[in-house]
């Protein structure tokens, strides 16, 4: 497990060093909006197994991506907070105890991944 964390941390450091050329504005004056980056806490605690951004794949194939969860039918902030608040809901591999402040942070971030254009990736 430490090897995975080390590899993930190394990839994150290398990705942070990458630069992109300036791109022209989209036609019609529209401004493309980028999704907010995942908070460090979310990436550090959840990112070892889950895809915490909508453009990544979970390292653990059994761990659903946050975008998949956020776009689940019937999911509300209240149901998400309730699930995250009770560690007994978690699968055995997800041995994490979150305090209320962290639960709120994770839930609020996950809900930013909702999209009307969402399409679940094949697993």
Over residues 62-102, the pLDDT tens digits come to 899 999 999 999 999 999 999 898 866 667 767 778 899 99
**104 or 11, which is more confident?**
104
Q: Quote the percentage of the chain above a pLDDT of 90.
A: 44
For 90, the token pair is: 């978690």
Q: What is the pTM of this model?
A: 0.66
């Amino acid at each position: 497990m430490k090897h995975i964390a080390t590899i993930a941390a190394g990839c994150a450091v290398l990705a942070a060093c990458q630069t992109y050329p300036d791109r022209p504005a989209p036609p019609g004056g529209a401004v493309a909006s980028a999704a907010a980056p995942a908070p460090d806490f979310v990436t550090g605690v959840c990112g070892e197994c889950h895809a915490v951004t909508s453009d990544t794949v979970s390292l653990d194939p059994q761990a659903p991506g946050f975008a998949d969860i956020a776009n689940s039918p019937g999911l509300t902030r209240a149901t998400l907070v309730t699930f995250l608040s009770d560690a007994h809901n978690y699968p055995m591999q997800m041995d994490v105890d979150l305090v209320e402040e962290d639960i709120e942070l994770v839930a609020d971030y996950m809900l930013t991944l909702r999209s009307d254009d969402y399409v679940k990736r094949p697993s």
